[in-house]
Amino acid sequence: MIRNKLLWETSKQKYGLVSKGLHWLSALAVFTLFGLGYWMVDLDYYSEWYQRAPHWHESAGLLLCIVTLFRLVWRTIATKPEIISSHSALEKKCSAIMTFALYFILLTVFASGYLITSADGKAIAVFDWFNVSAFILIAENQEDLAGAIHYYIAYTLIFMALIHALAALKHHFIDKDNTLKRMIK
């Protein structure tokens, strides 16, 4: 019983299965949603994917938003692994800033996507499982303003995620510390 519990929970040495699963699910979803968004903006009205691709993008984005909110709650209640002692003060500060920035940017992508999709006042159908009400109308051209924010912040998110991944690889291959191993093993 104790062994199983430790597999799911984060310890002082490494992340638990819940944290790892949420991390890798989020990473996969972010890059998949970015690829889908990149592809679908060039679809024309006569494409069979013109309606379907945005529906999938919106639905998966809203589900990822729910997962991210759960992930933020989990971060506050779960044990956190100890900071690796070999990390410099600069690395520790950069890690904290990057973590905050990634969550902030991710939440901004969700908010801007919601504002684009809900600008027409219609509820958003999430894979036809449930609807999310459209209740925020900020401006007359909300979808254009939110669309511009969504576009640039999505590219920023991908750039930051790549920097995050490169930093993990640097720790693994150059520093040879346990930074990446704690999120994989």
Domain spans, the chain: 2-184
Decide if pLDDT at 139 tops 80: no
Quick one: which of 96, 103, 88, 144 has its CA closest to 120? 144
Share of the chain above pLDDT 90, in %: 68
More confident residue, 78 or 5: 78
Contact between residue 121 and residue 137 where contact means Cβ atoms under 8 Å apart = yes
132 SS3 class: strand
pLDDT computed for residue 84 by the predictor: 86
Task: Measure the N-to-C terminal CA separation of the chain; round to a whole number of Å.
Answer: 20
Which amino acid does the sequence have at 97? Answer: I
Which two structure tokens, joined as six digits, stand for 103? 């969550």
Residue in the block written with tokens 């592809």: 39
Least confident of 21-35, 46-60, 128-142: 128-142
pLDDT computed for residue 121 by the predictor: 84
Return the CATH fold of 2-184: Fumarate Reductase Cytochrome B subunit (1.20.950)
Q: What is the mean pLDDT of the chain?
A: 90
Decide if pLDDT at 7 tops 70: no
Mean pLDDT of 26-44: 96
Mean pLDDT of 79-99: 91
CB atoms within 10 A of CB 126: 17
Mean pLDDT of 75-80: 88
pTM across the whole model? 0.89
Contact between residue 168 and residue 180 where contact means Cβ atoms under 8 Å apart = yes
124 SS3 class: strand
DSSP at 48: T
Contact between residue 105 and residue 161 where contact means Cβ atoms under 8 Å apart = no
- Per the DSSP assignment, residues forming a β-bridge with 125 are 131
Q: What angle do CA 28, 30, 36 make, to 5 degrees?
A: 100
